[in-house]
Amino acid sequence: MKKENLDYTLYLCTDRELMSTDTLEEAVEEAILGGVTMVQLREKNCSSKEFYETALRIKKITDTYGLPLLINDRVDIALAVDADGVHVGQSDLPVSVARKILGKDKIIGVSARNVAQAQEAEQNGADYLGVGAMYATGTKKDAKVTSREELLKIREAVKIPIVVIGGINQKTLSNFKGIGINGLAVVSAVIAAKDIKAAAAEMVQKFKE
pLDDT of 31-46, one tens digit each? 999 999 999 999 988 9
CATH number (domain holding residue 105): 3.20.20.70
Domain count along the chain? 1
Across the chain, which has 209 residues, the per-10-residue mean pLDDT values are 90 96 98 98 94 98 98 98 98 96 97 98 98 84 87 98 97 95 97 98 96
Encode the chain in three state secondary structure. CCHHHCCCCEEEECCCCCCCCCCHHHHHHHHHHHCCCEEEECCCCCCHHHHHHHHHHHHHHHHHHCCCEEEECCHHHHHHHCCCEEEECCCCCCHHHHHHHHCCCCEEEEEECCHHHHHHHHHCCCCEEEECCCCCCCCCCCCCCCCHHHHHHHHHHCCCCEEECCCCCCCCHHHHCCCCCCEEEECHHHHCCCCHHHHHHHHHHHHHC
For 168, the domain range is 3-208
Q: What is the pLDDT of residue 44?
A: 86
Q: What is the pLDDT of residue 122?
A: 98
Q: Which residues are catalytic?
A: 42, 111, 140
pTM of the predicted model over 0.85: yes
Q: What is the pLDDT of residue 139?
A: 65
